Structure 1
Amino acid sequence: MDWRRDGADWPNRQYSRFVRHRPHYWHVQEAGEGPLVLLLHGTGGATHSWRDVLPILAERYRVVALDLPGQGFTKMGARQRCGLDPMSADIAALMASEGLTPEAIVGHSAGAAIALRMVRHLPQPPRAIVGINAALANFAGMAGWLFPMTARMLSLNPFTASMFARFTASEASVRALIGSTGSELSPEGLALYHRLISDRHHVDAALTMMAQWTLDGLQAELPDIDTPCLFITGARDHAVPPREARRAAERMPRAELAEFPELGHLAHEEAPGPVTEPIMAFLDRHIPR
């Protein structure tokens, strides 16, 4: 993604800035005042995913959102640091270098796994974590081996990202892809995903992340994470079964659930107002003001 070309009308661009902190060149958005809330998008997303949530939270909090390495407008500086552990460590180091101490982290899908992993990397653990359709389980059986292996092979092929970007370049393809997650987005939302998915560098980074992804270590440590956690699920989520969040919550000492029967995987983009309500209530309970 090119900021001069694609950033002119990017959601909340007035809050955007760029930070060079090894190994990546980060795109960061920051708005509001008060306790710091960090927003982490899922695989294949970008800060656009929080386009309507960020302004709501910024009315009461200092909100920081960023693009994951190579995705959106963050330039990847090291391909080998796109797995769960290195990304969590690098984001924690970025926060420290900017003098930012997250009081809460809100993550969507894989971003929720990063949020939970950051508990071990931050000098001061957050007071609250929110996972929206949190991706907290490896693929079962053969799929658990085949999916990351397939992604790894695809990411090693220099032509794969370009081919995928061309294949999904039509609006109909993007609409079908988003629909397969169980969500229905506005034309604006679909157009933003179309822009991302059409960019070969963004696609390459998402494939690289998937190729390096494993949750074994995090799964083993869930019972030891005593940070209060709220898992928000959309009952229509076809990408991450809601039962995975329920299973994780059962293993954690201070976790609770909130379900939206009519929403899918991109619940916070479908209904930002209703989804943000339980987030705000949860943060109010756990973050002193």
Structure 2
Amino acid sequence: MPDSSTHPTISSAFPLNVLIQGEGFPILCLHGHPGSGRSMSVFTNALSLRFKTLAPDLRGYGRSQTVQNFEMPDHLIDLEALLDRHQIDQCLILGWSLGGILALELALRQLKRVSGLILVATAARPWGNHPPVTWQDNLYTGLASVFNRLNPGWRWNIDTFGQRSLYRYLIQQHTPETYQYLAREAMDAYLQTSRQATQALYKALNQGYNRLADLPKIQCPCLVLAGAGDRHITPASSQETADHLPNAEWRCYPNTAHLFPWEMPNQVLKDICDWIERNPEVISFKKPEVRSRGQ
């Protein structure tokens, strides 16, 4: 992505489909790749009881489909336009994986607009240690996904195909509840992720994305969460991000991987709510600066 001081014209913004729930201080919830606003329900269903949550389908995902090629900075133009459209001057941002990278980028562009960041399985210099994918991996993943779609959380399928599939790199706790999330939200999100969205992401990653040097500019409170067994964005890269943020807390969950919010949702939500209680400024509207006459 280009330097955050570069602001492309807002006229190119794409109208995003967005799921809005609740009332109160706004929390912008950004999904990963593949993903959709609906796949953030593990957060929005709980947080919307106290706050106003906005979970958009990013450009090229979910119901925000386009046949036009685009690049990663275009997501930021879309998100700024979304906040403008809903007259949101300040918000807390929660981003999962790719969504966390976009949260960091948006904070760098809109320092006064972002009251805090919750960064889930993400990093400002992401790296992974995923093993090579074999044809058996793809076969078992396909079988596990089909059976799980037909009978979500079926123990036989989990034991027979799920734990031998690529899901073993995304989750470590192969519970029926986790597979129900996969069936309800991951499958549709995967099928609705466009070629254009995939190309935009991998182009940015292949260019060596690294924003560590800019993180000291982000002074707001940040919560960085990671799964100890994450092979897609390693916990070490998440911790590195937390170390470069001036006001960050970092937590790593044992026996979990990249989809850890679906593995232990109650604990993750508790930790998020506890962090908000310790940092009430992230949900408090700041009064605009008033210049005295003559200034």
Shift of residue 105 of structure 1? 0.3
* Equivalent-residue separation in structure 2 for 1:225 and 1:125 (angstroms): 11
Pair 77,86 (structure 1): closer, same or farther in 2 beyond 3 Å: same
* Equivalent-residue separation in structure 1 for 2:283 and 2:82 (angstroms): 24
* Equivalent-residue separation in structure 2 for 1:168 and 1:281 (angstroms): 39
Pair 90,212 (structure 1): closer, same or farther in 2 beyond 3 Å: farther
* Equivalent-residue separation in structure 2 for 1:53 and 1:256 (angstroms): 19
Q: Identity of counterpart residues, as a percentage? A: 22
In the alignment, does 2:43 pair up with 1:53? yes
| Residue identity matched to 1:117 | E
Deviates more, 1:258-267 or 1:22-31: 22-31
**1:177 corresponding residue in structure 2:** 166
**1:117 corresponding residue in structure 2:** 105
| Residue identity matched to 1:231 | V
Larger Rg: 2
Structure 2 unpaired stretches of 5+? 1-10, 130-137, 147-161, 285-295
Pair 50,86 (structure 1): closer, same or farther in 2 beyond 3 Å: same
CA-to-aligned-CA distance 1:113-168 (integer Å, 9 cap, x gap): 1101101333733111010111322548xx9xxxxxxxxxxxxxxxxxxxxxx989
| Residue identity matched to 1:101 | D
> How do 1:64-103 residues align onto structure 2 when only pairs under 5 Å count?
64-76=54-66, 78-81=68-71, 83=72, 85-103=73-91
Contact kept? 2:92, 2:283, Cα under 8 Å: no
Contact kept? 1:182, 1:238, Cα under 8 Å: no
Shift of residue 272 of structure 1? 1.9
SS in 1 for 2:249: strand
CA-to-aligned-CA distance 1:212-234 (integer Å, 9 cap, x gap): 32464623311222121110111
What is the number of residues matched between the two proteins? 241
**1:128 corresponding residue in structure 2:** 116
Contact kept? 2:13, 2:81, Cα under 8 Å: no
**1:6 corresponding residue in structure 2:** none
Deviates more, 1:271-280 or 1:174-183: 174-183
> How do 1:151-230 residues align onto structure 2 when only pairs under 5 Å count?
170-172=142-144, 175=162, 176-183=165-172, 184=174, 185-197=178-190, 199=191, 202-214=193-205, 216=209, 218-230=211-223
* Equivalent-residue separation in structure 2 for 1:112 and 1:223 (angstroms): 16
Shift of residue 110 of structure 1? 1.4
Deviates more, 1:34-43 or 1:212-221: 212-221
Pair 224,40 (structure 1): closer, same or farther in 2 beyond 3 Å: same
Structure 1 unpaired stretches of 5+? 1-20, 144-165
SS in 2 for 1:51: helix
Contact kept? 1:263, 1:270, Cα under 8 Å: yes
Contact kept? 2:97, 2:121, Cα under 8 Å: yes
Deviates more, 1:66-75 or 1:214-223: 214-223
Aligned partner (choices 13, 26, 32) of residue 16 of structure 2: 26
In the alignment, does 2:221 pair up with 1:249? no
SS in 1 for 2:170: coil
| Residue identity matched to 1:265 | H
Aligned partner (choices 260, 272, 277) of residue 267 of structure 1: 260
